[in-house]
Amino acid sequence: MIRGKIIVDDGPDPYKTLRSAHGLSIYIEGGGYRVLWDLGPDPNILIYNLEKAGISISDIDMIFISHDHADHYEGIKGLADKVKGVPVYIPFGSSDHLKQLIKKLGFEVREVSSPTIISGNIMSIGQLYGPPYEHSLIVIDEYVLLFVGCSHPGITRIVDRAVIFGYRPDIIIGGFHLLNATEDNVRRILNDLIRKGVKKLSPIHCSGKIIVDLLKTKYKDYYMSLHLGSEFKF
């Protein structure tokens, strides 16, 4: 089983339990591991939300930072005295600033260039250039889940890489980077993802209103609604 919770996102928590921020962080349990996918822009918000969500921070096994933008990594500053020595996976090509920050806080930096099995059913598809360099996370159980940060290299290109790696995503959760896309372009992207076999899409963070509206109205069977504080289980 794969389960998790949206810990940081731009939109509000309708239950007003967690604090929103422009950024992304998702807690994931899968393959026998507890994972943080991205860390949001604010260490105080990250820790507050993790604690409010009832997540034992000290039990986190590994951390992934999708790319070198502060709204995806600054939260790591709140974890330094709570999670010691766990590996932090970042895409090859990330800045020296990010690598030095991770090391200074006492974490182990692991750069990922090519598609890499991290452990069991958890893997990185390897870095792709947007800019910036970015990698995405695959977690496998009954379904293949693809977690994306901001999809700067392009969401269809990311899915193509996953397919080449041997894992066709059933479900995609994260930022699709379509804030400024036209409706026609978003339709083309949705149709392409559906042709590639994607069954459910949950665009959050930087995805934009157009893709959410289209999924709600024209592609209802493919929409999975998640927001800050949402839990998921597959």
Per-domain residue ranges of the chain: 3-233
Model pTM score:
0.98
pLDDT value of residue 233: 97
Residues, the chain, total? 234
Q: Is the distance from CB of 166 to CB of 84 less than 8 angstroms?
A: no
Q: Is the distance from CB of 109 to CB of 99 less than 8 angstroms?
A: yes
pLDDT value of residue 116: 96
**Distance of alpha carbon 193 from alpha carbon 201, whole angstroms:** 9
pLDDT value of residue 182: 97
How far lies 114's CA from each of 13, 90, 164, in Å?
36, 12, 12
25 phi, psi to nearest 5 deg: -155, 135
pLDDT value of residue 120: 83
pLDDT value of residue 69: 98
pLDDT value of residue 84: 82
* Residue type at position 176: F
Q: State the architecture of 3-233 in CATH terms.
A: 4-Layer Sandwich (3.60)
Q: Which residue stretches of the chain have pLDDT < 70? A: none
**Distance of alpha carbon 5 from alpha carbon 226, whole angstroms:** 9
pLDDT value of residue 171: 98
User: What is the gyration radius of the CA atoms in the chain, in angstroms?
Assistant: 16
Beta strands 62-64; 87-91: pairing state: parallel
pLDDT value of residue 85: 87
